[in-house]
Amino acid sequence: MAIKRKPPAQENHERWLISYADFITLLFAFFVVMFASSQTDKSRAKLMSEAVQSALDGKSQGVPPAVAKILGGTIEDKGQGNAQMKGPGGAKQTAKETPPQNVVELIPSLKRLSKDLEDELRAGTVEVKLEPRGLVVSLRQNAFFPSGTDVIAKDTYPTLEKLANVIRSLPNPVQLEGHTDSVPIHNGRFKSNWELSSARAIATLEVLCTRFDLPRNRFAVVGRADTAPLDTDDTPEGRMRNRRVDLVIVNILGTQPNAVVLSQSSKPSK
C-alpha cells in the first residue's frame, strides 16, 4: 500500500509584519517620551527663573550677604569679584546720564518768540534760534542802530518790548553780546570795534532795564567785535549779518553774570 505524502507547508510571506509592528511600537514609545519631556511645568519653570534672578540680584535669602557682595552682578552694586566684572551689573556699566536739574526748557519760549516776532522775522531784522547755550535772538544792526553809533532806533522799541515780556516770564540769566564786522572803525567816539560792540550791548541793556523795568542783575554784557561772525566778511550781505547784538537767554539757572567786557583792538572801523 503506497504511503500518502503530506503536501509541503506553504511559506508564510507575512512574517515581516512582526518586525514592522515592533518598530512602530518602539517609534511610538520614542515620540511619547519626547512629547512628555517637552511639556514642562510652567509654574515650576517660573519659580526657577525667579529664584535665579533673585540670586543674581543678591536678594535671595539663600545667598548670604557676604557671598552676594563677592559675586556682585547687580545693577546698583559694583561688587568685588569677577562675576561683577562680567555680570549684568558690571563694574564697567555706565550710569544713565540725567539732565541737570537747573536746565530750563526753552522750546516754549522759542515758539512764543517766533509767533510774537513774526513780522520782524519776515522782514529779516531779527533772527531767532536755539543753540546749546540757550535761546539766541539776533538784533540786526541795520534795523536797530544807525551805522557807527550805539543809539537804538526808537521805532524798534516795540520789538524790544516783546523780548522784555519773554525775559520777564523766565528766571534765566540773559547775556547781551555785541558783534561787528571786520571793517575797522575809528571816529570821535569809538576807537575800535571792541568799544563799538560793547557800547551797543550796553545800550540794549539800558533800554531793557530802564524803559521796560527788567532787573539789571539778570544781565551780562559782552563785546565780541568781529571775533564771532555768522557769515563771511567778504560780501556786503555777510558783513551786514555779522553786525548785530545777540540777546542770549541762557538755559542754565544760577549762572553768574559775566563782567562787562570793554576791550580794545588795533582794528578800528565803521
H/E segment holding residue 85: helix 82-86
Domain residue spans of the chain? 41-97, 107-250
Predicted pLDDT of residue 262: 38
What number does CATH give the domain 107-250?
A: 3.30.1330.60
Q: What angle do CA 137, 145, 161 make, to 5 degrees?
A: 50
Q: What is the pLDDT of residue 59?
A: 47
Round to whole Å and give the CA distance between 220 and 175: 5
At 51, give phi and psi (nearest 5°): -65, -40
Q: What is the pLDDT of residue 264?
A: 37
The torsion defined by the Cα of 211, 156, 233 and 135, in degrees rounded to 10, comes to: 60
Q: What is the DSSP letter of 123?
A: H
User: What are the pLDDT digits (tens) for 196-207?
Assistant: 999 999 999 999
What is the predicted pLDDT for the residue at 224? 93
Residue 27: strand, helix, or coil? helix
pLDDT below 70 — which residues of the chain? 1-14, 37-45, 47-49, 51-104, 253-270
How many Cβ atoms sit within 10 Å of the Cβ of residue 180? 30
Give the model confidence (pLDDT) of 21-31 as tens digits.
Answer: 888 888 888 88
CB of 268 closer than 8 Å to CB of 193: yes
Give the pLDDT confidence score for residue 167 in this predicted structure: 93
Tell me the pLDDT tens digit for each residue of 123-180: 999 999 998 889 999 999 999 998 888 999 999 999 999 999 999 998 899 999 999 9
Q: Position of cell 563771511? A: 232
